[in-house]
Amino acid sequence: MRHTATETVALGSIVVLLLVFVPSMGVAAVPGASSQEPVLGKGAVEIQGDGSLRVISPAEDESFTMVDASASVGSYVDSTTLLGVGFSYSRSTYSTRYGDGYVYATWHFPSAEFGNTVPFLGAMMGSTYGYGDDVMRYTVRGGVKVFFTARSAFVFQPYYRFYEGTGKNRGSIAGVSVGIVTLYR
C-alpha cells in the first residue's frame, strides 16, 4: 500500500512521539517518580516531540494541508525557565518539504492550584531550509503541559509563527501542536 506524502509525514510524527514517550515510561518507574507533580527545576533536561496538522486557505491560493513534526531538547536554568534547541520538519500538499532549526525560551508557571497542569509561554527563533531562500522564523507559543507522571506530560500548545522572507516565503501561520515531554535529571 502506497501512502501520500502527508500520510507518510503523519506516520513519521507518530514514530517521533513514541520515541520520546516509550523511554519516559521507564523513567517514570524510578523511586520518587510516582507523584504527578512535575519535577521541574534547575538542572532538569526536557526532551519534547510534537506535531501538528493544518489546513490552510490563503486568500489568493487554493487551500492546502501541512504536517509538521518537531523534536527539541532544553535545560532548565532556574525553577521555571527552559532554554533549548530544536528541529522541525514540514511537508505540505502545496510545496516541497522543508525544515528549520531553532532556539527557544519557555517560561513555566507551576502552581499547587493547577496540580499536574503547568501553563507556559515561550518564544522561538530559527531559520528554514529546503524551501527556496532560507528565511528567519519567529514564533510565540503558549499552552499547558499535563503531567501524567512526575517526569512525563502531554503538551498542548497554540502558536503563531511569522516568516521573514519575500513573496511566498513571507507570511504567518497560526496553529496548535500536541506532543509528549519527558524530563530527565
Q: What is the pLDDT of residues 95-143, one digit of tens each?
A: 666 788 999 999 999 988 888 999 999 999 998 887 667 788 899 999 9
Contact 145, 154 (CB under 8 A): yes
Q: What is the pLDDT of residues 50-59, one digit of tens each?
A: 988 776 665 5
pLDDT higher than 70, residue 145: yes
Model pTM score: 0.74
pLDDT higher than 50, residue 26: no
3-state helix, strand, coil in the chain (%, to 5): 15, 55, 30
**What range defines the domain where residue 70 resides?**
5-184
Q: What is the mean pLDDT of the chain?
A: 78
The CATH number covering residue 20 comes to 2.40.160.20
Residue 90: which of 48, 43, 56 has the closest Cα? 56
Q: pLDDT grade, residue 147 (50/70/90)?
A: very high
pLDDT higher than 90, residue 83: yes
Count of the separate structural domains present in the chain? 1
Element (H, E) at 104: strand 98-108
Region 16-40: mean pLDDT is 49
